[in-house]
Structure 1
Amino acid sequence: MPKIKTNRGAAKRFKRNAAGTFKRNASHRRHILTKKSTKRMRHLRGPKALHKSDVKSAQRMIPYC
């Protein structure tokens, strides 16, 4: 049986941790930063967990991580 191809876009966006959950980066941090408050940017800085409803599709896209 052939290997399953990894979705390269998903592999660049999500990383699986030891617990089996996926971490992701926050959106809205690329441009038009002047109107966003410092507090808002600070909260967007750290890694976030992928929502539980999206985990199944992420596992399908990244089978070997």
Structure 2
Amino acid sequence: MPKMKAKSSASKRFKKTANGYKHKQSFTSHILTKKSTKRKRHLRPMAQVAKCDVPLINRMLAC
């Protein structure tokens, strides 16, 4: 039986940390003129993945 492969899309989107995973936030790529500076600034850093989604990401990244 062949090896199981990890989802390459998930490996590009999520980074493992000590407490779970982090991901880039959405709504930052285009139509930025109507968004406030504060809103764009708060979207800049990577966010922590919710605890309920961690098992799903573990399954996608399991090899």
TM-score in terms of structure 2 length: 0.90
Higher helix proportion = 2
- 2:14 counterpart of 1:14: yes
Q: Which residue of 2 aligns with 1:25?
A: 24
Determine helix, strand or coil for the equivalent of 2:52.
coil
Partner of 2:41 in structure 1?
42
Question: Which secondary structure does the structure 2 equivalent of 1:3 belong to?
Answer: coil
Q: Take 2:19 and 2:54, find their aligned partners in 1: how far apart are those partners?
A: 9
Aligned to 1:53, what secondary structure does the other structure show?
helix
Deviation at 1:4? Answer: 2.0
Q: CA deviation at 1:34?
A: 0.4
Instruction: Name the counterpart of 2:5.
Output: 5
Normalization by structure 1: what TM-score? Answer: 0.87
Structure 1: state its 5+ residue gaps.
none
Task: Give 1:10's aligned amino acid.
Answer: A
Which secondary structure does the structure 2 equivalent of 1:9 belong to? helix
TM-superposed CA distance for 1:53, in Å, is 0.8
When structure 1 is superposed on structure 2, of 3-12 and 21-30 the one drifting more is 3-12
**Structure with greater proportional strand content:** 2
How far is the alpha carbon of 1:16 from its aligned partner?
Answer: 0.5
Report the count of equivalent residues: 63
